[in-house]
Amino acid sequence: MESRSLVLGASFMALCILVGQALADTKNQTAPRVPAVIVFGDSIVDPGNNNDLETLIKCNFPPYGQDFINHQATGRFSNGLIPPDLIASKLGVKELVPPYIGYDLQPEDILTGVSFASGATGYDPLTPAILNVIPMPDELKLFGEYKERLKAIAGEERATSIVSKSLYLVCSGTDDIANTYFTTPFRMLEYDINSYVDLLIRGAASFLEQLIQMGAQKIAFVGLPPVGCVPSQRTLGGGIQRNCEPKRNQAAQLFNSKIQKEIDRLNGENKGITGVYIDIYSMLIDLIFQPSKYGFEVSDRGCCGTGEIEVTLLCNKLTASVCPDVTKYVFWDSYHPTERAYKIMIDKIYQDYIQLLV
């Protein structure tokens, strides 16, 4: 009888240990890897900051958001979630990263991060001016305002800790090449591709330097995609066959090679700073040229309308129908990937890059 009691007691203790370990593992899996995710850039990472701006570059109307929570068009330039949401979720911070402007931010929103991104902005100061969106330097001004709000909520010591330990995501530059340089005549008259890319590099490097001065230590910098293979750019520059347009891709690759050197320089000059360059070019080019590898069927046009030119106002439920199965498309409209394509890329980005920062 006594030995039986000992066995039962030992079994109970073992069970308690296993349950305790399971609970600890669950806690570790859900514990945030960083206190906040803070985002700067263009439409790829804009969750709705453009909604209240006097600009044509917005998408807070159907069919945008058709696969979002409650089919809501929030101003995210996709059919559903966008990269900041997916990254914040993987990090255990929260499921959605809200816009800083035009949103009823609660204290918890401030504590866990926001996006200052504005669709159609860029590193060239002319880019946001053309379409009346938020310039990248002004996104930093908003960040300064955010820091004061954070300090008021959390206190100076905790606010300083949040700022230094948060993940910063920077994604911009595509609109400079696709819109300002190749679509409008203004910059092409005074710059060749090399000198224009140098202009963008100066803007990007200046942005990063100021961001570091404002307290950022963990920075994920997204390089440029194969701009010439985006559906709208195929239509505008790819001829009758809508091939990938090589000059746009050349500009993107040149920018990517130069910005990596700038990030290395900033890492070397600033103790405690980790800036990581994210190669989105290779990921997206693989999705475009090998769509079946990922379960896609269409990669040269978007799901909205003809998929060849419709974006923002042209992608609307009155004049543009939507494809029957968005999961088969790499692109949602003629410029922005689908949520499913984003998820595939973010899985790789998280594994190869984000984990180096957190």
Domains and CATH numbers, the chain: 34-283 (3.40.50)
Over range 205-228, report the average pLDDT: 98
Binned at pLDDT 50, 70 and 90, residue 199 comes out as very high
- Catalytic residues, which ones? 43, 333, 336
Cis peptide leading into residue 63 (ω within 30°): yes
Over range 137-144, report the average pLDDT: 98
Over range 145-153, report the average pLDDT: 98
pLDDT at res. 2? 46
Q: What is the pTM of this model?
A: 0.91
Structure confidence by residue, pLDDT tens digits, 256-292: 999 999 999 999 999 999 999 999 999 999 999 999 9
Over range 108-122, report the average pLDDT: 98
Rounded distance, CA 243 to CA 246, Å?
A: 9
pLDDT at res. 30? 66
Looking at the chain, the whole-number percentage of residues with pLDDT higher than 90 is: 91
Per the prediction, the chain carries an average pLDDT of 93
Looking at the chain, the whole-number percentage of residues with pLDDT higher than 70 is: 92
Residue 189 has pLDDT above 80, yes or no: yes
Concatenated DSSP letters of 181-213: ITTSSTTTTT--HHHHHHHHHHHHHHHHHHHHH
